[in-house]
Structure 1
């Protein structure tokens, strides 16, 4: 199946899940952001033969780390036949992973849900994954170097996204060309104390290299000119497909 076919299926599955969520009587709040919209970002990122990525992983072993309500994990299982581990930390998950568990029951799914805090342990449920989806998680980690290095030992490929920045919050310093990361104050970005390290693009590429990854595809979206680590209207996101050199 080509990428356009996968995208069509993903959007149809998104609508199906939205309908089911509206019909369910639950005592928690659903994650408020559209995680299935990542299919558009992957469309912008993937080039050449890598646009067949989803055909290559059909029926394979996959992990979705930091999966919110698990929408994308359930899509990979139910539409692509993947064997999926959903990994999240209930202490930082929007609804303590309750939504993912409810959807697993509703969909009669066999997705395995694992509660893991990556900052205290990286004991993944399996020794090997064909691919890990790691979207929107990196800047929420205290120890991104450690986690990326461990993932490189367990996965052939990684799809990762994270916030990046070109300028300091006061726009007085341009660090886009330097391999650095900005450490946020607990309330500096979206009043969210789980936001930690915002890399420059050069810093992000450097940490990928140092932790055992080769960049196969890359794109940045959002505020691609004058982005900074703190302001919502200056939010730039990097998306990358990586190949492990540790496998």
Structure 2
């Protein structure tokens, strides 16, 4: 740049406010004063050891990518990454950051909702990140069923949860009408419905307990294989069979007529 020339393109400040604190190559950070600390770097530190160090040739999907932190980390390991979000402000940040990090050839960012993948031709992703999105969705089981249709090898699932950490031993039982008091016991799978707003955010709709997370994942034919951090679950697909997949209801909700994914 010649002396006195003005920099071109937007700056970090121009693109504020930021939610992800990105560490840029020149040493700047996009939100160094984040109330959660160095977020999401500390969350990535929990997950990273559970993912392959070399993702060359892998296709990854980052749902609710925000400004792209996780997408960039996967791309640095060699993956080709699609990041989706419904917030154009975050997508502008992500595309800007990809250019500054030299990763624009490995990552792409699209304005999509998770439900869009129920209407698109079926794709396969080796790894799906579904983090910080679940409790913002009005149709949570539809989202999980949609992701199972993609048949990922691994899904990293993270959601806000209630403090109830247990799973009632009868959670898988057939409960009779006269036993409904069981549904109020600690450890019974449940979603707390947010009627107005949570943390001043009206898009927060549900807060599940741990038992509900495990149960809903199971109902969508995902099994939890590890918990690398609080409220974070590593999931592998299970075989879809009667009791886990409801093809008629899914087809009615989406208009799809294709067959569910096969054996993992």
How is 1:1-247 mapped onto 2 (pairs within 5 angstroms)? 24=11, 27-33=14-20, 34-42=39-47, 51=49, 53-55=51-53, 57-77=55-75, 79-90=76-87, 95-108=89-102, 109-110=104-105, 111-119=107-115, 122-123=118-119, 127-154=123-150, 155-166=152-163, 176-187=186-197, 189-218=198-227, 221=230, 238-245=231-238, 246=240, 247=264
Q: Relative contact order (C-alpha < 8 Å, sep 6+): which is higher? A: 1
Q: Give me the TM-score of the superposition, normalised by structure 2.
A: 0.65
**Taking structure 1 as reference, are residues 220 and 72 closer, same or farther at Cα in structure 2, changes over 3 Å only?**
closer
The size of the alignment, in residue pairs, is 192
- 1:156 to partner: Cα distance: 1.8
Residues 107-141 of structure 1, C-alpha deviation per residue, up to 9 Å, x if partnerless?
34121111112356645686000010111111111
2:94 & 2:54 partners in 1: Cα distance?
26
- What are structure 2's unaligned runs of at least 5 residues? 1-9, 21-38, 165-182, 241-263
2:56 & 2:43 partners in 1: Cα distance?
18
Q: Give me the TM-score of the superposition, normalised by structure 1.
A: 0.69
Instruction: State the SS of the aligned residue for 2:51.
Output: helix
- The answer to whether the 8 Å contact 1:59/1:80 transfers is no
Look at both structures and tell me which one has the larger radius of gyration over its CA atoms. 2
Structure in which a larger fraction of residues adopt strand? 1
- What are structure 1's unaligned runs of at least 5 residues? 1-22, 44-50, 168-172, 222-237
Instruction: State the SS of the aligned residue for 1:54.
Output: coil
1:199 & 1:37 partners in 2: Cα distance?
23
Structure in which a larger fraction of residues adopt helix? 1
